[in-house]
Structure formats: C-alpha cells, structure tokens
Amino acid sequence: MKIFSFPPIFDDNSKILILGTMPSKDSLRLNQYYGNTRNSFWKIMFNLLNKEFSENYDVRKTLLLNNNIAVWDTLKACIRESSADADILSPEPNDITGFLEKYPNIKAVFCNGRDAHAYFEKYFPKLSIERYYLPSTSAANAISWDKKLNEWKRIEEYLNKH
C-alpha cells in the first residue's frame, strides 16, 4: 500500500529539523508524528526540554515549536505494508532542500535512526547543513532508554549553543 508522510511541524523560528523516515501504522491511524505509544520520541523530547510529559498532541507540537524544533520525514511517500523501515519500497523523498531554502533559520538536521539518516544522505548528499545521526526512538531499536536519551542530548547541547 502506498503511504504518505505528514506535513512538517515547524515555524519561522525553527533552528533544527528532526527527520524520521516515514510514519508507522499507528502514527498514520492517529494522524500524529510518533503515534506508537512504545516509541520513545515524545518521552525523550519532554525529558530533554525539562517539561512534564503529556499525551496531548497539541501540547507535544507546542513543546517542539516553543523550543525551535521542526519535525518531518525524509520520505514523502513509499510502498510499505508494515511499520518497519526495512519493508520500504519505492521511496520518494520530501523536498528537504526547498524546505531548508525557505526556512534558513534551520541550521542543523538530526536524523532519527539509521534509515532516516541513510535516506537523507542518499537524497541530499550535497546539502550544506550540519547533520547528525541519532539512534532510532522506535521500540524496535533494542538499545536502552538511558543510551537513547544520552545520545539525544546532542539536540539539547546544540540548542544551548545556538
């Protein structure tokens, strides 16, 4: 089945862009980034930004925007039956180059996981922007919560310096 990513969460003040690969089945059903409750993205973001965790999606989006963080996916469409990135067929990239040209305050891209990073490097190798790989927040990524959180602190460090 062909699936499509969501529009980005961003505003003119966004300084960094966090890129996933494609929404999971749960995310698509809920029409929310990182909608699978076992995905640690939102828990990590609330932890990094020292805010009390909320399951309210509007609160989650506001948390990102209040901290100059944009979220999108490297792919705009693909064929995939499961939620696994390994099952992606016929990937089509989002226009990340055009997006970054339109929003020049974004100075760094943080890729959520190996596949998001691989697609970003494949489709945008010459894009002149700081780029960082972070371990996937997916529950399928078996590394510990502490290790994920520690790696994701690079976002906090980046924002504190810029």
Q: Which residues are catalytic?
A: 39
Strands in 21-88 per DSSP E: 69-73, 75-79
Per DSSP, 5 falls in state: P
End-to-end CA distance of the chain: 41
Cβ neighbors of 62 (< 8 A, separation 6 or more) are: none
Both structure tokens of 141: 């990524």
Q: What are phi and psi of 134, to 5 degrees?
A: -125, 145
CA distances from 144 to 55, 78, 140, 148, 152 (A): 22, 29, 11, 6, 12
